[in-house]
Amino acid sequence: MAYQTLLTELENGILTVTINRPDKLNALNKDVFNDLDTLLKQVYTDNQIQSVIIIGSGNKAFVAGADITEFGNLSVEQGKQLAKRGQDIFDRIEQSPKPIIACVNGFALGGGCELAMACHFRIASDNAKFGQPEVNLGLIPGYGGTQRLAQLIGKGRAIELLISANMIDAQTAVQYGLVNYVVPQDELINKAKSILQIVNTKAPLAVAACIKAANAVWNESKNGFNEEIELFGSCFGTEDMKEGTIAFLEKRKAHFTGK
């Protein structure tokens, strides 16, 4: 699939997606959103893709935010539509049945921090910086940032970052639980791939069910414990569950088919 603003590479079931606007520090403009929209359709439907890494091009920025040049003269209604578009795409990242992880290789500001937070987890390079600087522009995050930041690091820390526009470095991000690991920049992709290579050997429907159940924690329309009962039960109707248990008893490696 050809994209205007994304580079993609599929290797061993892992799709590496590079947001490729290096001159603008990979800022999210309309084209990036359109490409992410198409990309997600591909991720959801293409059986060759088992998991996804999102990274920014270059070594300075993951994504330095929404493209500020597109904010120009938006009306109140157009502002809402922009937030709706961003939230819709980031929700589909969060709800993806296939793991999507962010490799934060530099600035993750505004919409960039929101994109990283929509991913299932984050790994940062040691030069990464996180922040929600929207109040500098007379704005607030619009792509789910006020909600996911509070979910991930707690309300007190989130509100401090939101209202001060302060950035935090990678070490602070790991201490806050915003990222799982901090590694040197040249080890970032390999760290992500080493984790996903393990994930890709697991039963895909069970992996998807774990993501769905964990997401239910923050979905007010669902009771997460009931969701877990349903998903646990549904696993017993899969071929992979039978294969997994038989393989264990036969002391051999399971071969999962995603059925």
Residues carrying an active site annotation: 114, 134
- Interface residue with ligand COA among 10, 49, 68, 183 (CB under 6 A) is 68
> Considering beta carbons, is residue 133 or 144 the nearer one to ligand COA?
133
Asked whether position 113 contacts ligand COA by CB under 6 A, the answer is no
- The verdict on 116 binding ligand COA (CB under 6 A) reads no
Cβ-count burial 42-74 (b if 16+ within 10 Å, e if not): bbeeeeebbbbbbbbbbeebbbbbbbeeeeeee
Range 75-81, long-range pairs (CB < 8 A, 24+ positions) = 79/142
In this chain, which of 86, 99, 110, 144 binds ligand COA, going by CB under 6 A?
110
With vertex at residue 157, the alpha carbon angle to CA 152 and CA 159, rounded to the nearest 5 degrees, is 100
CA gap 195, 201 in Å, rounded: 11
Q: How far is the CB of 181 from ligand COA (least distance, A)?
A: 23
Closer residue to ligand COA, CB minimum distance, 69 or 75 = 69
DSSP structural state of residue 1? -
Q: How far apart are CA 53 and CA 193, in angstroms?
A: 8
Name which position in 107, 130, 143, 256 contacts ligand COA (CB under 6 A).
107
Binding mask 70-89 for ligand COA (x = CB under 6 A): --------------------
Q: In this chain, which of 45, 69, 73, 75 binds ligand COA, going by CB under 6 A?
A: 69
Cβ-contact 55, 15 below 8 angstroms = no
Applying CB under 6 A, the residues found at the interface with ligand COA are: 24-25, 27, 64-69, 107, 109-110, 133-134, 137
